[in-house]
Structure 1
Amino acid sequence: MIRYSLKCDQDHGFESWFQSAAAFDDLAAAGRLSCPVCGSVTVDKTLMAPAVRPARKAAPGALAAPGSKVEEALAALRKQVEENSEYVGLNFAAEARAIHEGDAPQRAIYGEAKLEEARRLVEDGVPVAPLPFMPPRKVN
């Protein structure tokens, strides 16, 4: 796995993990990378400093910097979504379609869908949008 610092053509900076450098190149060439702030698919790698571990004697938290405005905005968005929507997990595509067709009660939902499921929802006119964060995972 490799982590890249990225920037879109609107000058929004963000980071993402990729299986390899070739995986990044393939996704970028296919237009499958997008900015979490504006949705632009024109995304490039930027210079990135290597991760360096602090000295053992460094004060705890000495390298921690306060969150950026983007991180704060994403946290606020996540809080709003979680407080005002129902998490339906991996049933998102089926539930969104049922709501759209009137087979389930109208309500705000969020969850997870495979790329092909999401594509079919969009093609069928079901109003959905990707979220710029991953839903919480429940662990045993």
Structure 2
Amino acid sequence: MKVFDLRCGQGHIFEGWFGSEADYRNQQQRGLLQCPLCGDEEITKGLSAPRLNLGAVAPHAAKTTEAPAAVATLPDSAPEKLRAMQAAWLQLSRQLAQGSEDVGTRFTEQALAMHRGEQEEKPIRGQATPAQARELLEEGVPVLPLALPKVSGETLQ
């Protein structure tokens, strides 16, 4: 199993697990790779440090009392705080997606109907143009524009 650090065109960094380097290239060529945070399909592979099992002691070394040699790894290509923020945003976007109904392009129509009491209120999400969002806000409809990743409602393996 190969674990690669991947980066989208927006700069989000995430891991991808592949059976081999060829499997990664094949999926990339077929357009199957997508950023789990923003849905961007412009994916590049970053530097990835291989995991080496250095915990085993060679038979001849077991008899000596020397301290093991220091081992260094390459620093992460992204600060840990950025990774934590990305993970938190992905978790929140999944919760929002799972706790609301996707009404697609009917968002404006349904939000107005609920606001006017013509339809039972429920949490919804969908698409609206900037002009439609302005119309909703002017009507007093509480809306919040969010850039939810396409995979928010899906389980990633």
TM-score, normalising length from structure 1? Answer: 0.50
* Max Rg structure: 2
TM-score (norm 2): 0.45
